[in-house]
Amino acid sequence: MASLNKVMLIGNLGKDPELRHTASGMAVATFSIATSERVKNKQTNEWEKKTDWHNVVLWDKQATLAGQYLTKGSTVYIEGRLQTRKWQDRDGNTRYTTEVVGNTIEFLSSKGEGARSGGGDSSYEPSGGGNYEEPPFQDDDIPF
């Protein structure tokens, strides 16, 4: 049986990335990003903004780049997989954390927004701004 674990997100950082290094010296960056959507309140019939927060972990070169170039509010594209970790809190209770382990990151914010653009391959080319627009739907895009 086949399986797939893939996540693609475009959102804004809630705070600056936290950059650390493992005992072997590998960089690891953690941060959270917010994604938002507009939903209609069925009771008031008004549009409201709904925000979800996603914990992100990056490793090695991507972690270093994130630590250098991302700041609170930066817009990023993250592609990766979901991972759930089990851990013990200070009181000995078992806790679970689900996070996105990124394997591709693209910096979408313009220079004025406190972040440079770059790809998961450590390039620093400008992406043309932080405004992401969904391409218009085309019937001929459907393969059947």
Domain membership flag for residue 91 = yes
How far apart (Å, rounded) are the C-alpha atoms in residues 14 and 114? 13
Domain membership flag for residue 63 = yes
Domain membership flag for residue 109 = yes
CATH code, domain with 63:
2.40.50.140
Domain membership flag for residue 132 = no
The candidate with the shortest Cα–Cα distance to 100, out of 38, 50, 29, is 29
Q: How confident is the model at residue 22, as a pLDDT?
A: 94
State which residues form the domain around 92: 7-38+47-122
Q: How confident is the model at residue 113, as a pLDDT?
A: 59
The count of other CB atoms within 10 Å of the CB of residue 111 is 10
Are 98 and 83 a contacting pair, CB within 8 Å?
A: yes
How far apart (Å, rounded) are the C-alpha atoms in residues 77 and 69? 14
pTM: 0.72
Domain membership flag for residue 136 = no
Domain membership flag for residue 55 = yes
Domain count, the chain: 1
Give me the mean pLDDT over the 28-36 stretch: 96
Residue 137 scores a pLDDT above 60: no
Domain membership flag for residue 29 = yes
139: left (phi > 0), else alpha (psi -120 to 50), else beta?
alpha
